[in-house]
Amino acid sequence: MREHLELLWELQKIDLDLKNIEEERDRYPKEMKKLDEKRNLEKERIHKEREKLESLEKERRQKEKHLIGEQDKIKRSEGRMSEVKTNKEYQAILTEIETFKEAVGRVEEEILLIMDEVEELKKQLSKREKEIAITLEKVEAEKRGIQEKMGQGEVLWKEKLERKEALSKQVESKLFKLYNMLREKRQGIGMVSARNETCQGCFVHVPPQMFIEVQKNLSLIRCPNCNRILHWDGNGEKK
């Protein structure tokens, strides 16, 4: 019986390993999705900042075009000065020129404000581009790490499964069936260790005499509370 219990104990460890690998299989795609979302969010942010910069540059060009138009108006008005015949017409042209100059002043001020904003935004964008480059590099590194783990997990899964199949054939048939029945009822754990007179499955006290028998690993003993098969694996305790 000792040999079968040891084989069953190894089988239980393998089943737990397989369960962990399966959980990782479900978790990794979710982690990859989060990383992709983080990467896309960073790219979208920088894209919006670039769009804002382009919009300001476009607005600046439009105002500069408008400025040239206002300056041309001043030149045309000044060209008409030599053609005036009355003081009234002369004063009207002066007023017109003054109005155009005021418009030119406003546009020049608006252009300067936009240029200041563009300069500041370019500085921020340069900083953000460096930051996002670092962030994206980290994201890609994390993705590569996950892909590597996924690959390792698949190799380990295959190895564990092959070992499980081999053990399943070596364990006594009735014991194997009992173990599987308990495993299905007890969240994947049909066999547990006993430590300090306590079942490590339900953490309920195991009677002293029963614990002594468990330590021998010579017979099938089940927890009086959770019914799992009990096993002694040493645990650094003295028998």
Return averaged pLDDT per consecutive 10 residues of the chain, 239 residues in all. 93 94 88 88 89 93 93 91 87 92 93 93 88 87 90 93 94 94 94 94 95 94 96 65
Partnered with residue 195 across adjacent β-strands are: 198
Residue 235: per-residue pLDDT: 55
Residue 28: per-residue pLDDT: 87
Residue 170: per-residue pLDDT: 94
Euclidean distance between CA atoms 229 and 8, whole angstroms: 10
**Region(s) of the chain under CATH 1.10.287.1490:** 14-171
Euclidean distance between CA atoms 216 and 130, whole angstroms: 64
Residue 206 exposed, middle or buried by CB count within 10 Å (0-12, 13-18, 19+)? buried
The CATH classification number of 14-171 equals 1.10.287.1490
Residue 95: per-residue pLDDT: 93
Largest CA-CA distance found in the chain, in angstroms, rounded: 129
pTM over 0.75: no
Residue 213: per-residue pLDDT: 95
- Token representation of residue 110: 């608006």
Residue 8: per-residue pLDDT: 95
For 3, half-sphere exposure in the C-beta direction (CA atoms, 13 angstrom radius) is: 4
**Are the CB atoms for 132 and 14 separated by under 8 Å?**
no
- Token representation of residue 237: 């305790």
Which amino acid is located at 220 in the chain?
A: L
Residue 239: per-residue pLDDT: 42
- Token representation of residue 148: 């590597």
Residues with Cβ within 8 Å of residue 140, at least 6 apart in sequence:
39
**Are the CB atoms for 192 and 201 separated by under 8 Å?**
yes
Residue 207: C-alpha distances to residues 9, 26, 193, 194, 225 (Å)? 22, 40, 14, 11, 11
